[in-house]
Amino acid sequence: MNDIQNRPPLPDRLSVDPRSPFYNAAIFEHDVGIKLNDKERFEVEEYCISEGWIKIPAGKALDRKGNPLMTKVKGTVEPFYR
């Protein structure tokens, strides 16, 4: 019961990449879920609620640094704690 009250509020924009300025380690201590157009997505790397997009990996393609290439998908974004 106390765990629910101690969760930090979800920000407008969040990234799972620690090098990103939108990364927040305190939020990732809890399990975060993302819904895009009322469908739960599991492969989300970054999201922005106000602009209405998520970034997901584009297949198995990698950039020259070995990071996955990202595709931006637009729609209604709803983050939540599981």
Looking at residue 45, its pLDDT comes to 93
Query: Which pair of tokens denotes residue 61?
Result: 């393609």
Question: How far is Cα 50 from Cα 3, in angstroms, rounded to an integer?
Answer: 27
pLDDT tens-digit profile of 16-69?
Answer: 999 999 999 999 898 999 999 999 999 999 999 999 999 999 999 999 999 899
pLDDT beyond 60 at 3: no
Rounded alpha-carbon distances, angstroms, from residue 43 to 15, 37, 54: 12, 15, 10
Q: Of 20, 43, 19, 18, give the one whose Cα is nearest residue 28.
A: 18
